[in-house]
Chains A and B, each alone.
Chain A
Amino acid sequence: MRILKICGIVALTVLIGCANSEAPNLAKPSPPATTGETAAPTVPSPHFTTQLETPGPAITGVSKVKLINDLNYTGKEISLNLGGRQVPATFVEINLHPYGFYIPENMQEFVFEDGSEVGLNRAEFIGLSEVERLVNPDNLHESLRFGGDTLFYDEELQQFEEYIGSSKDGDEGPRVDGFLLKHGGTPDMLIYFRYFNKNKESVLPIFLEVTKNIKYIEP
């Protein structure tokens, strides 16, 4: 019985390892339905369906935490905790979406005629998109390919309930991390981080802290 238990643990460990690494089958998922060679667009591949319904942490048994806990915007001034230091933040409303972010001094708003982003620069920013407007609303991870062709899960981000996966273009190049924001009665939103993988250590903590404090603004 004990041997069986140990075998079970070993097997589970192997599974965890696969779930957290850039497994080859994730790097080269089946082509999107628009090629006409796969299933209809509304039917995601079982591979991704499984991942979306039971993301990594659920498989490992590690409890997840919510990245975003309080969406209510009160208009209060807040400070952000960046690297253990409290820094002042400015509230920025996102164009076309009823959300806003508190951003530190080194971030700015980039306004387009079809929305806005907040970021450190044009290449490293946080964006928002309605899920129904994604290339593949039924397969959120697949929809992140605009960041790069390699789909993967970042172990560090799997602790968050909202995390849906990442994509990247090479180890040093651009990457995108996606988070699903559900807010009762409003359209589901994709929050995504776009930055260079080589800058992950410096950029990701800032973007996580900013996203943690995203607010919903009553239209």
Chain B
Amino acid sequence: MAAGHNNVAAVGTSASNAKYGTSYLASYSQGTSHAQVAVLKANLRQYRSITPSYLWTSTTSLEGNTSNSFDAATKANLIVFQNNTGLTADGIYGAGSRNAMHASIGVSPKGWVRIFKSTPGYVNYNDTAEGLSADATYKLDHSWCTSACRDTLYSLGYSFYSYYNKLIQVNDACLLDGADTPEHSTHQTGTEVDIRNAGLTTAQATKFLEICIANANVKRVIYYTTHGLTSNKILVQSDHGDHFHVDTFS
């Protein structure tokens, strides 16, 4: 479970390895030998077993291939996975592929879910190239939360979209099952999510606050201003100038 990866092949950096006492690599590619490569192969075998066989014609099977060596067959299977999940199919397993693997077959013992990459209500900033780049220090997956929290995000985003035809950008929630994170003091309960305010006008930010206040599952929003709204759900914190921190009840 170290660093919130559970059953999925882990990636890491010197900073995250120092934090968790692990020795994960930032990426794995053909020629790499590492224990996480064997995990990746198991992940690819599982993914292959739950996807249509026509995707895999002419791709060497990884059945029985359980070594730590990232070989040509691993690369070929990874490329199919990347193609099928909308990633750049470069055959290199890094944070983007890890996120997609989490989304595909990641298991949360607590029953948490991963925030979708995109929906009609929001986009997951963590899964964008910009978001992945912003997470380069630790390369952790902060997209896990409770299912009720994810439903609430969708509801908030969809309401906002209906006013402005604009998708909100969901940023960090929690690591899988609330593993301790070096990037936040809280964000461990599965009910805490940051929403970016980049590109929002004052009117749009105000509307988003109104939508949050009206949502029964929103417990609190931390933001740098109330924008003139009166609600005990808004907690003003000056250091929340670039995002809304949304707490949900469940």
- Answer yes or no: are A and B bound together in one complex: yes
Q: Which residues of A line the B interface, CB within 8 A?
A: 31-32, 34-36, 95-96, 112-117, 121-123, 127, 129, 133-135, 145-149, 169, 172-174, 176, 194, 196
- Contact between chains at A34 and B18 (CB < 8 Å): no
The B208-250 residues at the A interface (CB cut-off 8 A) are 222, 237, 239-240, 243, 245, 247
23 interchain pairs, CB-CB under 8 A: A31-B109, A34-B112, A34-B190, A35-B109, A113-B243, A114-B187, A114-B222, A123-B182, A129-B186, A129-B188, A135-B178, A135-B188, A135-B190, A145-B177, A145-B178, A147-B180, A169-B2, A169-B21, A172-B21, A174-B2, A174-B20, A174-B21, A174-B180
| A26 → chain B closest CB, angstroms | 17
| B23 → chain A closest CB, angstroms | 12
Q: Could you list 18 further interchain pairs (A-B, Cβ under 8 angstroms) beyond the known A114-B187, A146-B178, A169-B20? A: A34-B110, A34-B112, A34-B190, A36-B111, A95-B185, A96-B185, A112-B186, A114-B184, A114-B192, A121-B18, A122-B182, A123-B20, A135-B188, A146-B177, A146-B180, A147-B180, A174-B180, A196-B21
| A67 → chain B closest CB, angstroms | 22
CA distance A129 to B15 in the complex (A): 24
- Contact between chains at A34 and B189 (CB < 8 Å): no
Q: Which residue of A lies closest to B112 (CB)?
A: A34
B94-133 near A? 1/0 per residue, CB < 8 Å: 0000000000000001111000000000000000000000
Instruction: Find chain B residues with CB under 8 A from A196 CB.
Output: 21
Give the tally of cross-chain contacts (CB within 8 A).
Answer: 84
Instruction: Find chain B residues with CB under 8 A from A172 CB.
Output: 21
Q: Which residue of A lies closest to B192 (CB)?
A: A114
| B186 → chain A closest CB, angstroms | 5
Instruction: Find chain A residues with CB under 8 A from B240 CB.
Output: 113
B168-196 near A? 1/0 per residue, CB < 8 Å: 00000000011110111111111010000
Instruction: Find chain A residues with CB under 8 A from B110 CB.
Output: 31-32, 34-35, 135
Q: Which residues of B line the A interface, CB within 8 A?
A: 1-2, 15, 18-21, 109-112, 146, 177-180, 182-190, 192, 222, 237, 239-240, 243, 245, 247
| A135 → chain B closest CB, angstroms | 5
Instruction: Find chain A residues with CB under 8 A from B177 CB.
Output: 145-146
CA distance A122 to B140 in the complex (A): 15
| B128 → chain A closest CB, angstroms | 20
Instruction: Find chain B residues with CB under 8 A from A149 CB.
Output: 1
Q: Which residue of A lies closest to B189 (CB)?
A: A135
Q: Which residue of A lies closest to B178 (CB)?
A: A146
Instruction: Find chain B residues with CB under 8 A from A122 CB.
Output: 15, 18-19, 182
Given A122-B15, A122-B18, A173-B20, verify A133-B186 contact (CB < 8 Å).
yes
Q: Which residue of B lies closest to A122 (CB)?
A: B182
| B101 → chain A closest CB, angstroms | 21
- Contact between chains at B239 and A113 (CB < 8 Å): yes
- Contact between chains at A114 and B186 (CB < 8 Å): yes
| A34 → chain B closest CB, angstroms | 5
Instruction: Find chain A residues with CB under 8 A from B2 CB.
Output: 169, 173-174
| B187 → chain A closest CB, angstroms | 7
CA distance A3 to B125 in the complex (A): 70
Query: Which of B1, B185, B188, B247 is A148 in contact with, Cβ under 8 Å?
Result: B1
Which residue, of A113, A115, A146, A174, has the highest number of chain B Cβ atoms within 10 A?
A113
Instruction: Find chain B residues with CB under 8 A from A133 CB.
Output: 186, 189, 247
CA distance A145 to B110 in the complex (A): 11
CA distance A32 to B189 in the complex (A): 13
| B42 → chain A closest CB, angstroms | 20
| B193 → chain A closest CB, angstroms | 11
Which residue, of A95, A135, A194, A196, has the highest number of chain B Cβ atoms within 10 A?
A135
| B248 → chain A closest CB, angstroms | 12
Q: Which residue of B lies closest to A133 (CB)?
A: B189
- Contact between chains at A169 and B185 (CB < 8 Å): no
CA distance A196 to B190 in the complex (A): 24
| A91 → chain B closest CB, angstroms | 19
- Contact between chains at B189 and A96 (CB < 8 Å): no
Query: Which of B1, B146, B178, B185 is A114 in contact with, Cβ under 8 Å?
Result: B185
